[in-house]
Structures are given as structure tokens and as C-alpha cells.
């Protein structure tokens, strides 16, 4: 199977997080964008400030690679106004996919109306501009019951407010890849987690992000029913090798 059309090749580190200069970090981003073009991946997933760079490179290469970016990353606890502003700017810069970090801490506190409103308004914005919207629920910050409940909540908001033809454009996504867990526990997609998401988000598609490091693991996710896989080791995985990347 050619899994390249399932892979969202991902680089989301800031220069500070990578321990390098801004200039060096931009060069790494350029390398990821060029690799996505050369390898015909589904999408390049980068930070908002890098979207215009990706748009320029992809346009010049006459490539079909989509551009994705993260909104309110990685904590998801900004105001709805901030989320909408950031998403608007990303679309102006050329983003095709908007991966919003859901305010999972508000959800855990029982602030359900706040979470429902941001899911509704942000999804509305993306769909009105013919974009793909993904909701990152940060599974490592949730227990199993919360994973089930938040996946179902997103599904219910979408099914109650949008037409069926929109469902394929609204994903539930597992992880940012940046959440700090205790005792080195997984902070991304695992088989049990993805099964819970698939069972409770359907008919919305699911994206497995974080922790998929081999071709076989990617195939396992696809066989389960995952429609996208986020990884910073996309080329390695596509070539059947083991990725040593953190995300």
C-alpha cells in the first residue's frame, strides 16, 4: 500500500524548542516542505508563521501538497476570539487544514458550553472557507471516559449543526505530540485510544497523531479506519523504516 496520501508530514518545533537559531529552524521547515513535495505526501503540517513560506514553495513547485497548521497550539486554552483570529490569518496565508487544539482543560472542568461554542464557531469558520478542520483532544491529558465523552461531544456538535456532506471535513485528532506525560507514558496515538475515538467520533474521521513510528504501525492505524496520520518521520515510515522522531 502507498500510504503517502495518509501522511501529514509534521514539523511543529519553535527554534527555542529545537535549541537552534530562528534561521536554522526556518531551514529545517524548508526541508520538510520540500520533502513533502518530493514524496507526494498528503499534507505538510507546520506552525502558522510558516504557512506563507509553504504556500510559496508549493505554488512554485506546482505541487498538490496541502498545507496544514495548528491553531492555539499546544495548550488550547486561549479565548474563542483568539482562536478565530489565528485561524483567519492562517487561511489568508494559504492554509488548507486547520488543526485546532480543543480546550480540553475546560472540558475536564465541566465547562461544556464553552467547549461546544468553540467547536461550533471554529468549525463554521473553516467550513465556510472550504477548509478541513481537525479537533485535537490531547488524549494523554484525558482518561478513557473523557476520551470517549469528548470524541462524542465533537461528533454531536457537528451532526447537530452541519450537513452530512460536511462530516468528512471535520476530524477528531488524538494529540499535539507536545504534552508532557509522567513516567514516559505515551503522549500520542495508541491502538486502544484510537479504537475509542473511532467508535465515538464516527461518522467523523479520525487522525492519529504522535507515536506512529513504523510502516506497520501506520498500516495498523489505517486498517482500524484512521484517515490521516500525523508524523515528523513521514519519509522514514513511507520507506518502511523505523522513525526515531519524537512525534
Say how far apart CA 103 and CA 92 lie, in whole Å.
24
CA-CA-CA-CA torsion sign (88, 158, 99, 228): negative
Taking the CA of residue 121 as centre, how many other CA atoms within 13 Å lie in the half-sphere pointing to its CB? 16
Cite the active site residues. Answer: 99, 173, 207
3-state secondary structure the chain: CCHHHHEEEEECCCHHHHCCCHHHHHHHHHHHHHHHHHHCCCEEEECHHHHHHHHHHHHHCCCCCEEEEEECCCCCCCCHHHHHHHHHHHHHHCCCEEEEECCHHHHHCCCHHHHHHHHHHHHHHHHHCCCEEEEECCHHHCCHHHHHHHHHHHHHHHHHHCCHHHHHHEEEECCCCCCCCHHHCCCCCCHHHHHHHHHHHCCCCEEEECCCCCHHHHHHHHHHCCCEEEECCHHHHHCCCCCCCCC
Say how far apart CA 225 and CA 221 lie, in whole Å.
7
Amino acid at each position: 500500500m502507498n500510504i503517502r496520501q495518509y501522511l501529514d508530514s509534521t514539523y511543529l518545533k519553535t527554534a527555542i524548542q529545537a535549541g537552534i537559531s530562528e534561521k536554522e529552524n526556518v531551514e529545517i521547515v524548508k526541508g520538510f516542505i520540500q520533502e513533502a513535495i518530493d514524496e507526494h505526501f498528503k499534507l505538510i503540517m507546520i506552525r502558522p508563521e510558516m504557512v506563507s513560506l509553504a504556500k510559496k514553495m508549493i505554488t512554485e513547485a506546482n505541487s498538490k501538497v496541502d498545507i496544514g497548521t495548528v491553531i492555539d497550539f499546544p495548550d488550547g486554552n486561549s479565548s474563542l476570539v483568539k482562536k478565530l483570529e489565528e485561524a483567519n490569518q492562517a487561511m489568508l496565508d494559504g492554509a488548507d487544514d486547520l488543526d485546532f487544539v480543543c480546550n480540553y482543560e475546560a472540558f475536564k472542568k465541566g465547562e461544556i458550553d464553552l467547549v461546544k461554542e468553540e467547536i461550533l464557531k471554529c468549525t463554521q469558520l473553516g467550513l465556510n472557507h472550504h477548509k478541513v478542520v481537525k479537533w485535537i483532544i490531547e488524549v494523554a491529558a484525558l482518561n478513557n471516559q473523557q476520551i470517549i465523552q469528548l470524541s462524542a461531544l465533537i461528533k454531536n456538535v457537528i451532526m447537530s449543526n452541519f450537513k452530512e456532506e460536511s462530516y468528512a471535513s471535520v476530524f477528531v485528532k488524538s494529540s499535539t505530540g507536545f504534552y508532557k506525560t509522567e513516567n514516559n507514558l505515551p503522549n500520542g496515538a495508541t491502538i486502544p485510544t484510537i479504537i475509542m475515538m473511532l467508535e465515538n467520533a464516527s461518522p467523523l474521521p479520525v487522525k492519529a497523531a504522535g507515536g506512529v513510528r513504523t510502516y506497520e504501525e501506520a498500516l495498523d492505524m489505517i486498517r482500524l479506519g484512521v484517515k490521516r496520520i500525523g508524523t515528523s518521520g513521514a519519509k522514514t515510515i513511507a520507506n518502511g523504516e523505523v522513525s526515531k522522531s519524537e512525534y
